[in-house]
Structure 1
């Protein structure tokens, strides 16, 4: 049960991978945070919650599908009814569609699916929760992006990800970075902290466990940005090594 002084944080896509690790670290290292784990599949979500509650952590669940407007509105209403506000929104839900959709999926469908989850879904979710974020003392939004979304990095032949293709994923994350800039510009003057994080190439189900980093390490920068105080930065794109080129 959240106390009136708890910091209420919602993480989308939190039942596995990086989202799960972000939820775990927030609940472990910041006991004043009441973590709401967002997920599409109720059974998988409840299993993830049970794991963390079994470790004595304070977490609850919210069903939210960022591709479904009705689901998003229902989640916002649930948070409003239970807590009356939201202090931190972590837009973590994401997907790589290239090579992972059913045979026969067209190029257009592949790109649309990528943008639907990685970009459009983040905007619709953010807009739904802005009225609740406005009630927070220091509203914070973290967009979980990727170094693959860096236009600066893509143009650098020596970039560590130069051999990685995935143009739909890259483009959807580059667009997500612009969304982060938009909200940072819009709400930064009001004291909000809106930033984009890069978790790095971590070994999770998201990439078939091919990453070289751990999920735990991938959660660090997102957690850092989610726990900024009123003097923290706004409008940044970074990982644990520092700022990244947009």
Structure 2
């Protein structure tokens, strides 16, 4: 049975991704900053008939919490088949380039970029023991520099001078990581879940968490012929999924 760790999995997109993987016979570790919230999420899934799930307390913004989660998970398994770096924050809004708060930027980067690096480095040894390890970076369509510089793009006027740079930096880390792992069985991709109605955006999105979870789970389960080192948004490009960085 394949095993996956999902950060920020106690609600919304992370929770739906967990459900999708459980439906495909994965054992899922629900990463949650608050253990009680993680336990409640796991119990909800168990009530639906999914027994292969348990919570793991992990605050990706806290190095000690990440280390503790690695120790805890190491007691439960010696291999991970998939790591889904889903935990993320938006930061205070509005986010204007001329008057952004640097402390807010540090807070957002600490979760959206540094947290991903911490988690990836902490669990890479378990992933390396899998036959077909997969890493999914949950990013955002709004991080595409090419699209954001195109006045004809439908989201051209939607700018967030803290959140967008954090996800653009995450995208670059994805490229570098995929490059370093290019001669291994790893597949590493940045996946945009779409403009989804969640607490994250005050439910202003047009898509569903179920759709988003399906998109992320797809790239956590891709076969040996699947892509690596790509920026994927099936909302923007339904045909191939790949979009410009």
TM-score band, normalised by shorter chain: over 0.9
Q: Is the 8 A contact 1:197 1:239 kept in 2?
A: yes
Segments ≥4 residues shifted beyond 6 Å: none
1:147 aligned residue: 141
Find 2:57's aligned residue among 63, 73, 84: 63
Q: Is the 8 A contact 1:23 1:37 kept in 2?
A: yes
Q: Is the 8 A contact 1:237 1:243 kept in 2?
A: yes
Specify every segment of 5 or more residues in structure 2 that has no aligned partner in the other structure, as ranges: none
Q: Is the 8 A contact 1:95 1:118 kept in 2?
A: yes
Structure 2 residue 19 is matched with structure 1 residue 24: yes
1:17-75 deviations in Å (ceiling 9; x for gaps):
110110011112x01x1011100111211111111010011211110000111111111
Q: Is the 8 A contact 2:94 2:160 kept in 1?
A: no
1:239 aligned residue: 233
Tell me the TM-score normalized by structure 2. Answer: 0.93
Aligned counterparts of 1:100 and 1:219: Cα–Cα separation in 2: 27
2:90 aligned residue: 96
Find 1:124's aligned residue among 104, 111, 118: 118
Q: Is the 8 A contact 1:98 1:166 kept in 2?
A: no
Aligned counterparts of 2:76 and 2:13: Cα–Cα separation in 1: 26
Aligned counterparts of 1:93 and 1:188: Cα–Cα separation in 2: 25
2:163 aligned residue: 169
Structure 2 residue 15 is matched with structure 1 residue 15: no
Structure 2 residue 189 is matched with structure 1 residue 195: yes
Aligned counterparts of 1:18 and 1:157: Cα–Cα separation in 2: 29
Structure 2 residue 80 is matched with structure 1 residue 53: no
Structure 1 residue 8: Cα displacement: 0.8
Structure 2 residue 217 is matched with structure 1 residue 218: no
- How many residues get paired? 236
Structure 1 residue 161: Cα displacement: 1.5
Structure 1 residue 220: Cα displacement: 2.0
Kindly report the root-mean-square deviation, in angstroms, between the aligned alpha carbons of the 2 structures.
Answer: 1.5
Question: What SS does the aligned partner of 2:182 have?
Answer: helix
